[in-house]
Structures are given as structure tokens and as C-alpha cells.
């Protein structure tokens, strides 16, 4: 009885192998994997899958965007994540004018530390005003911001020379650049043209942000990254045009990775045709696209041309989403959709159950590679000495998704009425059971800020 907690008889699924065994936890770490282990508390996982905790390296919690702030805070958002089997997330820092990167990091931690129920990291955003402050990048990296976010769209977008300078600074500390890649100039032109022609409804949102311009921006920044000699991670890939650029770069031997998100894997752009404010709900950027794009994304995940699935979780309420409708301007709809609770199940149900991915790929895509990529060096795998971040997943449990069933702090879900198979029953965060038989039993503030780095 020298272990604190033992998960017994589960089928352990890692990125590379599947086998039945017990997992013993002492304190916060995995202490043993074997047969007939016993502990002070034992959970029988017979008939269940035991996986590493899922890792979501792209979430926006209580994030101000324009006149709104995303509706999940660091408590409700990480609680919903835990209920969906996620045990680590990475959110964002945006420096205010006059603030140093370290002060901005401290500010964000003041918001997050008391509320998070799972471990978390923060990407440091480098906007146009930060280019004069790139000498702060080493301090931000040393303080645990292992990754840096660049935008090629919106007010925070960088020009190509600024991208070159930012990538060079990030490269000098061995950090990971992550990028929102879209061709902003062309998008602005198309938005203006559509609005001028009276095309104000949400269905003109995807038509103003064409797939080919996402591919173009991706190809451009990949080549700048190649010139600098840095790796690069492409956020929210929505289409074959972008996945193809990533695959071609990887074939050239370049260290480029890409992610997609459930909204692009489960929904198609007909959702923007829904009447009234319902058509505004799926507005996010880059937009949700055609069935052909969706099929290309599943193929890319299956072949390894895309490496991970994240959520880009960024919820706004129905009323906030409706503003673009009342203003007759789709470009005023706050961009972003919820998804932090449903990712692990969505990829299992729609990927593994439909035969598009193996169980090992599911774990690799949702847990192991995101952890490795983002510099969570002790997470994302089931290995003695790693953090005991684990999930007991019932592969047979059928759920019908609805806003009422989910715990995200928002009054809608993109997946209303969708039936999925497979659900998280138990979530363990550094040895503590925080979701027990589907109920949240964790505590606010028990998550920790993880200093992510790549040199050990
Ligand atoms: N896209 C969104 O739709 N919302 C948040 C940020 C982003 O890139
Ligand atoms: Zn995002």
C-alpha cells in the first residue's frame, strides 16, 4: 500500500502503444506501471481507456477582443476543460502600451493563478508595438513563456519585415513561434467590397476570407521562417490549401507544424446560412469551410501532415454574437467559438470511431505531441516520473451535446444535438482526482503556471 492512488485494469493508450496494466501514483507523479499494484485509493478502470491528460495549447480565456471579453474565465474555462479530459492549456498574454513583457506576464498570472483548476502556460504575443522591445524576449522566455504568438491579421498583425525581426528574436532563445496566418490586405478588400454591395449576412464571412489566402499567408511565413532558420507552428488550419503548404515544407525538411480545431473537423460553412443570429454563432477566423476542406483536414491528420488538434476556444454569448446582425455587418461579429470541453471526445468519436484515426493517433494528436510541441516536458505521456495527469475515458458512453449538458460559460454550443460516442469519466491532475465519475471535484487555484522551455 505504498502508492497514493492506483488506476487498475484499464487499457492504457499512449501515442505508440496500447496495453492493459495498472498505473500507480505517488504524490504528483506516476510512480509505477505494472500488474497487481495497490494503493490507498484504487479506481477500477476495467473496460475503460486510460490516456494521458489531454493538452490544449490554444485557448482564449477572459480575453478582451474589441468591445467584448470571452465569456469563460480561468475558472469556468479550465473546469470545462477538465470535465472534457484536458489537464493543461496554453492561453495568451497581450502587453499593454508602456508595460514590459514581464509585467504583462505578471498581470495575466494575477488573473489566472487563483482560478485555474489545471496546469497552464502562456504564449507571449508580439504585436507591432513590441518590435521595438524584442530585447525583452529572452526575459519572457526565461520566465516561462516558451512560445510567442504572431498575427498576420487584425490590429496586431505584423508586416513581413516585422515577422522577420520577431522570428529572429524568438529563434535566438530557442522559443516556439506560433502564428495566425491569413492575408489581411486581401481580406479587408473583400470585406469592404461585400459590405458595399449590401452583402452583410454571416455567410459572407467565409467568402471574405478565402482558403487560398490562408494558404498564401502560411506559405509566406514558412519561407520567412526558413530564411531565419526557426521552427514554426501554424495555428487553426482550416483547409487543404494550408495543410498542403505545411506538408510541402515538412517534405523540404523544415521544422514546421500545424494544428486544426474541432469546429473545422465537425462543421461546414453552411452553418453560416442559418437564419438570424444563429448564422453569427459559428463566426471565427479563419472561417469554417466546405466539406472538401473538412475531408482534407481529416486526411492531413491521418497522414501526419497536421500534427495536433487544439480548440481556439474563445466563446462569446448569443447576445454578443448577434451584434453583427443588428448592425448589418458580419465583420462586427466577435470572432470565436467554444470547444474546450468537447475536443477530446470529438476527435475520438469522429476520428477513431469512424476509422479515420487509430486510438494511438488520437492520443498523439490530443495529448503527446501538443505537450512536446509547447514545452510541457513532464506531461502528455504515461511514463514513470511524469506528472500524473491522466484520464479514464469510457469509449462506449454516448452523449448528446447541448449547452445545458456542457459546462462552458456560454449559452450555446456549435454542436447542439450532436451525438458522440466516448466521454471522460475521471480526470486526474498531478495526482489529484478533479473529475470523478463525470462530476467536477477539483479546486480553484490548484492548477499551476508551467514554465515552458525547450533546452532540457
Ligand atoms: N480567431 C477567432 O475567431 N477568435 C479568437 C482569435 C482568432 O484567431
Ligand atoms: Zn486563437
- Residue 173: CATH number of its domain: 3.20.20.140
Atom 4 of ligand 1, residue of closest alpha carbon? 336
Is the CB of residue 403 less than 8 Å from the CB of residue 338?
no
Looking at the domain assignment, is residue 402 inside a domain?
no
Looking at the domain assignment, is residue 39 inside a domain?
no
**Pocket mutation for ligand 1, best pick of 262, 264, 311, 336 (most atoms within 8 Å of C-beta):** 336
Q: Tell me the CA distances in angstroms from 261 to 103, 223, 316, one per residue in order.
A: 31, 24, 17
Looking at the domain assignment, is residue 450 inside a domain?
no
Stated pTM of the model: 0.98
Is 80 exceeded by the pLDDT of residue 200? yes
Q: Strands 64-65 and 68-69: what pairing?
A: antiparallel
Q: Is ligand 1 within 6 A of the CB of residue 61?
A: no
- Cα separation of 109 and 145, whole Å? 12
Is the CB of residue 51 less than 8 Å from the CB of residue 363?
yes
Q: Give mean pLDDT, residues 229-235.
A: 98
pLDDT digits 0-9 by tens, 253-289: 999 999 999 999 999 999 999 999 999 999 999 999 9
Which pLDDT score, from 0 to 100, does residue 325 have?
A: 87
- Cα separation of 357 and 440, whole Å? 29
Q: Give mean pLDDT, residues 86-107.
A: 97
Give the confidence band of 49 by pLDDT, cuts at 50, 70, 90. very high
Is 90 exceeded by the pLDDT of residue 455? no
- Cα separation of 217 and 219, whole Å? 5
Cell of 55: 493538452
Looking at the domain assignment, is residue 381 inside a domain?
no
Is 70 exceeded by the pLDDT of residue 456? no
Which pLDDT score, from 0 to 100, does residue 25 have?
A: 98
Q: Give mean pLDDT, residues 44-72.
A: 97
Q: Which helix (H) or strand (E) holds 4?
A: strand 3-13
Q: Which helix (H) or strand (E) holds 64?
A: strand 64-65
Looking at the domain assignment, is residue 33 inside a domain?
no
Looking at the domain assignment, is residue 262 inside a domain?
yes
pLDDT digits 0-9 by tens, 370-412: 999 999 999 999 999 999 999 999 999 999 999 999 999 999 9
Is the CB of residue 410 less than 8 Å from the CB of residue 315?
yes
Is 70 exceeded by the pLDDT of residue 170? yes
Looking at the domain assignment, is residue 9 inside a domain?
no
Residue percentage of the chain with pLDDT more than 70: 100
Q: Is ligand 1 within 6 A of the CB of residue 284?
A: yes
Which pLDDT score, from 0 to 100, does residue 324 have?
A: 87
Q: Of 407, 400, 409, 403, which is closest to residue 315 (Cα–Cα)?
A: 409
Looking at the domain assignment, is residue 73 inside a domain?
yes
What mean pLDDT is reported for the chain?
97
Q: Which domain holds residue 333?
A: 54-374
pLDDT digits 0-9 by tens, 105-149: 999 999 999 999 999 999 999 999 999 999 999 999 999 999 999
- Cα separation of 311 and 454, whole Å? 23
Is the CB of residue 255 less than 8 Å from the CB of residue 222?
no
Is 80 exceeded by the pLDDT of residue 27? yes
Asked if the peptide bond before residue 286 counts as cis, ω within 30 degrees of 0, the response is: yes
Distance 93 CA to ligand 2 centre (A): 12
Give the confidence band of 1 by pLDDT, cuts at 50, 70, 90. low
Task: Tally the domains of the chain.
Answer: 1
Is 80 exceeded by the pLDDT of residue 42? yes
Ligand 1 atom nearest the C-alpha of 154 is: 8
Q: Is ligand 1 within 6 A of the CB of residue 337?
A: no
Q: Give mean pLDDT, residues 339-343.
A: 98
Is the CB of residue 351 less than 8 Å from the CB of residue 298?
yes
Q: Give mean pLDDT, residues 73-82.
A: 99
Distance 283 CA to ligand 1 centre (A): 9
Amino acid at each position: 500500500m505504498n502508492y497514493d492512488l492506483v488506476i487498475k485494469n484499464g487499457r492504457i493508450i499512449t501515442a505508440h502503444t496500447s496495453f492493459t496494466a495498472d498505473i500507480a501514483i505517488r504524490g504528483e507523479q506516476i510512480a509505477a506501471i505494472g500488474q497487481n499494484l495497490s494503493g490507498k485509493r484504487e479506481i477500477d478502470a476495467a473496460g475503460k481507456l486510460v490516456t494521458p491528460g489531454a493538452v490544449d495549447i490554444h485557448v482564449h480565456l477572459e480575453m478582451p477582443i474589441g468591445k467584448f471579453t470571452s465569456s469563460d474565465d480561468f475558472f469556468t474555462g479550465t473546469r470545462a476543460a477538465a470535465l472534457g479530459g484536458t489537464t493543461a492549456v496554453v492561453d495568451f498574454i497581450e502587453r499593454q502600451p508602456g508595460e514590459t513583457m514581464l509585467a504583462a506576464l505578471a498581470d495575466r498570472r494575477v488573473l489566472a493563478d487563483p482560478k485555474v483548476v489545471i496546469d497552464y502556460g502562456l504564449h507571449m504575443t508580439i504585436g507591432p508595438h513590441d518590435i521595438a522591445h524584442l530585447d525583452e524576449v529572452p526575459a519572457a522566455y526565461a520566465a516561462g513563456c516558451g512560445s510567442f504568438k504572431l498575427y498576420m491579421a487584425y490590429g496586431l498583425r505584423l508586416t513581413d519585415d516585422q515577422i522577420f525581426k520577431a522570428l529572429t528574436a524568438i529563434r535566438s532563445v530557442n522559443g516556439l513561434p506560433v502564428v495566425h496566418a491569413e492575408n489581411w490586405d486581401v481580406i479587408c478588400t473583400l470585406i469592404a467590397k461585400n459590405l458595399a454591395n449590401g452583402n452583410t449576412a454571416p455567410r459572407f464571412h467565409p467568402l471574405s476570407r478565402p482558403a487560398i489566402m490562408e494558404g498564401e499567408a502560411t506559405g509566406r511565413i514558412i519561407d520567412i521562417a526558413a530564411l531565419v532558420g526557426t521552427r514554426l507552428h501554424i495555428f487553426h488550419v482550416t483547409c487543404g490549401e494550408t495543410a498542403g503548404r505545411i506538408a510541402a515544407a515538412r517534405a523540404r525538411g523544415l521544422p514546421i507544424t500545424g494544428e486544426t480545431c474541432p469546429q473545422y473537423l465537425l462543421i461546414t460553412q453552411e452553418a453560416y446560412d442559418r437564419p438570424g443570429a444563429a448564422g453569427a454563432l459559428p463566426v471565427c477566423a479563419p472561417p469554417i469551410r466546405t466539406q472538401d476542406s473538412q475531408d482534407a483536414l481529416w486526411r492531413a491528420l491521418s497522414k501526419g501532415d497536421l500534427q495536433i488538434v487544439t480548440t481556439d476556444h474563445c466563446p462569446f454569448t448569443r447576445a454578443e454574437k448577434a451584434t453583427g446582425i443588428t448592425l448589418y455587418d458580419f465583420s462586427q461579429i466577435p470572432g470565436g467559438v467554444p470547444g474546450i470541453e468537447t475536443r477530446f471526445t470529438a476527435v475520438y468519436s469522429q476520428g477513431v470511431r469512424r476509422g479515420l484515426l487509430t486510438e494511438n493517433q488520437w492520443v498523439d494528436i490530443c495529448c503527446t505531441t501538443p505537450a512536446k510541441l509547447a514545452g510541457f516536458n513532464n506531461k502528455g505521456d504515461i511514463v514513470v516520473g511524469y506528472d500524473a495527469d491522466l484520464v479514464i475515458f469510457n469509449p462506449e458512453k454516448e452523449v448528446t451535446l447541448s449547452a445545458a449538458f456542457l459546462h462552458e460559460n456560454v449559452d450555446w454550443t456549435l454542436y447542439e444535438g450532436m451525438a458522440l460516442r466516448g466521454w471522460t469519466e475521471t480526470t486526474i491532475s498531478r495526482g489529484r482526482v478533479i473529475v470523478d465519475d463525470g462530476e467536477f471535484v477539483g479546486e480553484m487555484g490548484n492548477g499551476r503556471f508551467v514554465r515552458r522551455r525547450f533546452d532540457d
